[in-house]
Structure 1
Amino acid sequence: MKRMALRWFGLAWLAVGIVVCGAQTAPTAPKPGEGPASGVPQDNPDNGKKTPETHLTPAQAKELFRSVDDILHFASSDSKLPVKHEVKRKLQTRTSVEKYVVDKFNDDEDAKRMQRSEIVLKKFGLLDRDFQLKPFLVSLLTEQIAGYYDSKTKTVNLLDWIAPDSQKPVLAHELTHALQDQHVDLDSWENKSLSDVSKNVEDDNKHLAVDEVDTAREAVLEGQAMAVFVDYSLKGSGKTLLTSPNVAGSLNEDLTDNSDSPVMARAPLLLQESLLFPYREGLNFEQVLMKDKGLTEAFAGVLDRPPSTSFEILNPKSYERQAKVPLLQMPDVHGLLDNQYAPYDIGVMGALDVRILTELFAGEDAAVALTPQWDGGIYYAAQSKMAKTPEQKAETGSVALMYLSAWKSPDAAKTFAAIYAEELGRKYSGVKRQQELESNGEQIYQTNEGPVLIALNGNQVFTSESFELGLAHKLEFLMEGAQSNGNLQTAQTTPGAKELSGAIVHVFANCGLMRVGMPH
């Protein structure tokens, strides 16, 4: 969903590589029998207080600066990405790092779009109505950051409160981003989505044409950096990710442990999955390519021919076959809507978004079973022109939403329609079914925010929320008719929309390596 779930928030903030540390510093990869990493403030069981934070001595800082070149060459050897020039390095204080995160959050285009898209996420039920997204995300990032490479200044930033041995695995991750930057220029390679609001049908389909490019690319960047991180952590054992395939599975289990991250532990599923997706699924994607195609293709090859959808990240074999995911067409709805509504948001409801939504609504087992049956989806949101004040515009009731999803079978479509209908009571109050108004394949409800139409037609499900019922039927006719012309688009690698979760993923990825992306 413009990476609805992910892309909306720039759900990929990891691409530049910051890890935000809260009360604790970033741990190294675990070794058998090893205790907490040196330099990490620990809880005192006697008084509940944390030991005072330590800072690097001049000798330690000198050692850390000196290690950058060695680790850069390790990352180059491990990834087969050549070193074209040395990487600048700078020591940062906790205050300066936290300022960097907050400034980046405030300035990032995806973050701005995320704030706008917050209403749509709530409309879909991915966030609770009373959830305050921006302050929570600032707290989450502040807790999670551990280290970062800044692609604008071409500098790897070291942290003055973490012991050198604890920072070195993080450096392996961040310096992989530096090598990626030297190969493709990350500033131009990463951000391919359009940030403006489309005003006509041509703009609508330009936005949709990019599908989930940024989300997929962020997963590539983080997956590659995680592979090098793992190999650096294992180098003393003589093992690698390629020779020890079970390592990734163990790491994935570790990534879901939020016991030392209180803010992450209480984050909505959307934010947790958006933050983890580039690390977890990106690493899995890279591991498959390393095994099937070799290191050069898994690193430089993927940077030169990146995937364009979260579906490809979740299904690496589809990427290897160069199979394109059909992209649903957006019809011209502006003639019906523009007198009463202003265009608000449009995007792709991608495989990752569907997985998150299905897990939230029906549980993990349902998500695992249904997500592979996904075959495309788009949404369009419009805001009533009756909403005049900022307070009125901030209400979910001011926005009307339509969503068309396609499935590989009528049974899968029927299952999704039932799951979606079951959750209406969680999103709205006063939900009442109006069966007397329904035609074949329809479910119609009245809610405190207006009518809801759920229409099942073969392998497609159309939903309309808050549009007047007669208008909703006209929109259904247009949306379904646009897909029957036999001229489906496919996901492209040119500028366009982000999937719903995409904005979140992008914001996370652009802030650096997060603690949640590292083994505990």
Structure 2
Amino acid sequence: MALLSKRAQRAFVAWSFGLGCCFGASGGRAQDKPASTPHADSKAANNAEFIAAADEVLQQMSEITGLKLLSPLKKSLRSREGIRAYVIKQMNEEKNPAERYADARTAEAFGLLPKGFDLDSFMVNVLTEQIEGLYDPKAQEFYIADWSAPDEQRMVMAHELTHALEDQHFHIEAWSRAAKPNEDAELARDAVLEGSAMAAMVDYLMLGTGRSLKDLPEFDPAILFDQLDMQNTPALKSAPPFIKDALIFPYISGLNFSAAVLKTAGWPALSAVFENPPVSTQQILHPALYKSGKTPATVLLPPLDKMLGKNWAKLDENILGEFGWKEVLKQFLGDDRGKTLAAAWDGDRYATYEQKETKKLILVTRLHLDSEEHAARFFGQYSETLEKKHSERSNLLRRPNFFQFDTPDGVAFLYCFGDSCVTMEGANRKLFDAFTRVLEWPSAPQPPEHPDAAKEKTAATLFFPTWQPAP
């Protein structure tokens, strides 16, 4: 469910300009006069001035990070139309339309996006609105928006030219792809890239002060988000909360992670992260877990393809990670409860299936928690999540570790056993029982017989016309 193109995501976005307000300093020539507020009609410096400034900032970033420039770097100014064309091109190269459709429907199944949300068009608009500059590792070229104010171009340069230096040393495109197919691990690597570039930009802003990011003992990257002026970013302002968080996570949480690493041994320690990258967003959110080497459990899901039959197709299967589960829980329980509950994550896997004719969805998840106590806590709070998610429900069956109810789209199930929990939404009881048998879990409590049982069985047969329970 990776909703954002990786290369489009590795672009400097306008809200990062809040850094100047936080630190009251700016690097290089930007110190000569205060930074101006960006305007859509602001004119970029001519190409010669742009190249001279980029070369100067590139040298400064090399000195800050300790990464030498290994080969000349291409640089160019781009119009808004050119940036938009780049974003569309990268989205198409990153995933094909079927994969992007699967991402959107999976996010919808988790309750992260409204039904029918046009994710492709929205992401093009929000990224075009936000991007002020970018480094393209495939072309090995640095682009900057020709409408950004000259004073602010240097901040863009500081961020993006850090990517360029990292690319020459660590080949960031291949380094990012090495995490595939684990999308949680991919997002963790994106956070390393964006967080390290943000850290370098902070150090650039503090040039001449005698201090750097590692000298700030109580630095909280979350304050940067407070500087975001939503009035100047209408597309982002209207974005569903999950999209805002997914866009911001690599920058803010990545910066927090980078700051923690820098405090140990400075920039050489951060460069070493490329040799030993984090394996999950949990390690980004909790840098101490990266330092201790804690890795999540490997979680497997039994395939449902044969059980469902030819009328169903698997759309997606991947790992949600602590960040993803935090977002799901946040939608229904609030930020604080979601963050606390997701911190017990110790591995997961999810899959979504779609009925070809009706487009009905089945979402199945398997979550490993770090203790049985936290699994019990997850059961209680995710029961509440499911009830809030499905406002129209009936025939509730609640037991100490099992919960099910009917919805217009099928039955929702939650079952916890030991330190693991599984969920299934949009299915029926026969499918769920077959699924738990494959897991070799004890049989879940059965609902009491009632007068409409025969009618329910008929409806279930119609819902899964080609599926028969395993003997």
TM-score (norm 1): 0.76
Match of 1:421 in 2: 383
Unaligned runs of 5+ in 1: 42-51, 195-206, 483-520
Task: Assess, with a 3 A threshold, how the Cα gap between structure 1 residues 447 and 213 changes in structure 2: closer, same or farther.
Answer: same
Quick one: distance in 1 between partners of 2:385 and 2:5? 23
Q: Distance in 1 between matches of 2:160 and 2:244?
A: 22
Per-residue deviation at 1:284? 0.8
CA distance in 2, matches of 1:348, 1:286: 23
Are 2:94 and 1:108 aligned?
A: yes
- Identify the residue that residue 72 of structure 2 maps to in structure 1: 86
TM-superposed deviation, 1:441:
2.5
| 1:54 match | 42
| Closer, same or farther: CA 298–112 of 1 in aligned 2, 3 Å | farther
Instruction: Specify which of 277, 281, 299 is matched with residue 310 of structure 1.
Output: 281
Query: Percent identity among equivalent residues?
Result: 28
Match of 1:495 in 2: none
| Contact 1:347–1:380, Cα closer than 8 Å, also in 2 | yes
Paired with 1:305 and 1:440, the residues of 2 have a C-alpha distance of 42
| Matches for 1:357-396 after TM superposition, within 5 Å | 357-384=328-355, 387-388=356-357, 392-393=358-359
Match of 1:141 among 111, 127, 146: 127
Task: Say whether 1:10 aligns with 2:8.
Answer: no
- Distance in 1 between the 2:291 and 2:318 partners? 25
Higher relative contact order (CA 8 A, sep 6+): 1
Mapping of 1:14-29 within 5 angstroms? 16-19=10-13, 29=20
Aligned counterpart, 2:450: none
1:54 partner amino acid: S
Partners of 1:110 and 1:363 in 2: CA distance? 34
Distance 2:11 2:340 in 1: 33
Amino acid at match of 2:139: T
The question of whether the paired residues in 2 share the 8 Å contact of 1:78 and 1:228 is answered with yes
Q: Which residue of 2 aligns with 1:98?
A: 84
| 2:236 match | 264
Q: How does 1:34-433 map to 2 (within 5 A)?
A: 37-38=35-36, 40-41=38-39, 53-56=41-44, 58=46, 61-109=47-95, 113-192=99-178, 207=181, 210=182, 212-249=184-221, 251-254=223-226, 258-299=230-271, 301-384=272-355, 387-388=356-357, 392-393=358-359, 398-428=360-390, 430-433=392-395
* Cα drift, residue 157 of structure 1: 1.0
Q: Which residue of 2 aligns with 1:200?
A: none
Contact 1:28–1:167 (Cα < 8 Å) also in 2: no
Shift of 1:253: 4.6
Question: Shift in Å at residue 95 of structure 1?
Answer: 2.1
Tell me which amino acid in the other structure corresponds to 2:71.
H
Q: Distance in 1 between matches of 2:184 and 2:109?
A: 21
State the 1:293 CA deviation.
3.5
Alpha-carbon spacing, 1:246–1:328, altered in 2? closer, same or farther (3 Å): same
The match for 1:446 among 406, 417, 438 is 406
C-alpha distance after superposition, 1:166-207 (max 9, x if no partner): 10011010000001110122222222365xxxxxxxxxxxx5
Distance 1:94 1:288 in 2: 36
Partners in 1 of 2:369 and 2:196 — Cα distance? 31
Relative to structure 1, is the Cα distance of residues 110 and 303 closer, same or farther in structure 2, using a 3 angstrom cutoff? Answer: farther
Kindly state the Cα deviation for residue 322 of structure 1 after the two structures are TM-superposed.
Answer: 2.3
Residue 296 of structure 1 deviates from its aligned partner by 0.6
SS of 2:235's equivalent? helix
Q: Which moved more, 1:25-34 or 1:93-102?
A: 25-34
In the TM superposition, residue 330 of structure 1 has moved relative to its aligned partner by: 2.7
Is 1:39–1:161's contact at 8 Å kept on the other side of the alignment? no
CA–CA distance in structure 1, aligned partners of residues 146 and 5 of structure 2: 28
Q: Of the two, which has the highest radius of gyration?
A: 2
Deviation at 1:332, TM superposition (A): 4.7
How far does residue 348 in structure 1 lie from its aligned partner after superposition? 1.0
State how far apart, in whole Å, the 2-side matches of 1:480 and 1:66 are.
66
Per-residue CA deviations over 1:359-410 (Å, capped at 9, x if unaligned) read 11101220232122122211122222xx33xxx43xxxx2211111122233
Deviation at 1:417, TM superposition (A): 2.6
Amino acid at match of 1:126: L
Q: Distance in 2 between matches of 1:237 and 1:142?
A: 34
Q: Deviations over 1:410-436 (max 9, x none)?
A: 34223323333324355445311333x
Question: CA distance change for structure 1 residues 27 and 325 in 2, over 3 Å: closer, same or farther?
Answer: closer
SS at match of 1:228: helix
Q: Which residue of 1 aligns with 2:466?
A: none
CA contact (8 A) 2:401 2:415 kept: yes
Rounded to whole Å, the distance in 2 between the matches of 1:339 and 1:310 is 35
Q: Deviations over 1:48-83 (max 9, x none)?
A: xxxx7132353xx32221022221121111111221
The verdict on how the C-alpha distance between 1:248 and 1:167 changes in structure 2, with shifts beyond 3 A counting, is farther
1:465 corresponds in structure 2 to 425
Q: CA deviation at 1:139?
A: 1.9
Once the 2 structures are TM-superposed, how far is the Cα of residue 114 of structure 1 from its aligned partner?
A: 3.1
Equivalent residues of 2:221, 2:252 under 8 A apart: no
Shift of the 99–251 alpha-carbon distance from structure 1 to 2, 3 Å rule, reads same
Aligned to 2:462: none
The CA distance in 2 between the partners of 1:144 and 1:480, in whole Å, is 49
5+ residue gaps, structure 2, are 26-30, 443-471
CA distance in 2 between counterparts of 1:380 and 1:110 reads 19
Alpha carbons of structure 1 residues 175 and 111: separation in structure 2 relative to 1, 3 Å: farther
Q: Distance in 2 between the 1:356 and 1:99 partners?
A: 30
